[in-house]
Amino acid sequence: MAAEHDAIERRGDFVWGKDGRVTVRSRAGTEIPIERVAPEEIREAVLLVMRTGGVRERKALIQEVRTLLGLDRGGAKLQEAVGAAIDDLLASGVLGEGSSGIQLRQ
């Protein structure tokens, strides 16, 4: 088993490679719900969208992340999960929020 050979590690409900890299993957056509996407991947998806530049309103940012992740539905659970990632990035100072919207600070 990979875990026995230290090839992977478990963090909460998710399994990661030892290098710790986060890869954003599309779930298009899979019907995988947002609950099965690691918070770290959602956070990285937010950063990928924001690195394209510009200022975004929260609602538009959530929509772009949903599209990037290939998720069909944008219900309350998706808004909550992506919103939590945005809030984390705002709290850590990676993103900033002003009257015109959210932008990348770094």
Nearest one of 9, 30, 31 to 18, comparing CA atoms: 9
- Confidence (pTM): 0.85
The string of pLDDT tens digits covering residues 13-72 is: 667 677 778 889 999 999 889 999 999 999 999 999 999 999 999 999 999 999 999 998
Answer whether residue 81 shows pLDDT above 70. Answer: yes
Give the start-end residues of each E strand in 1-106. Answer: 8-11, 14-17, 95-98, 101-104
Enumerate helices (H) and strands (E) in the chain, giving the number of each. 3, 4
Whether the CB-CB separation of 61 and 50 falls below 8 Å is answered with yes
Q: Which amino acid is at 100?
A: S
Domains of the chain: 3-104 (1.10.10)
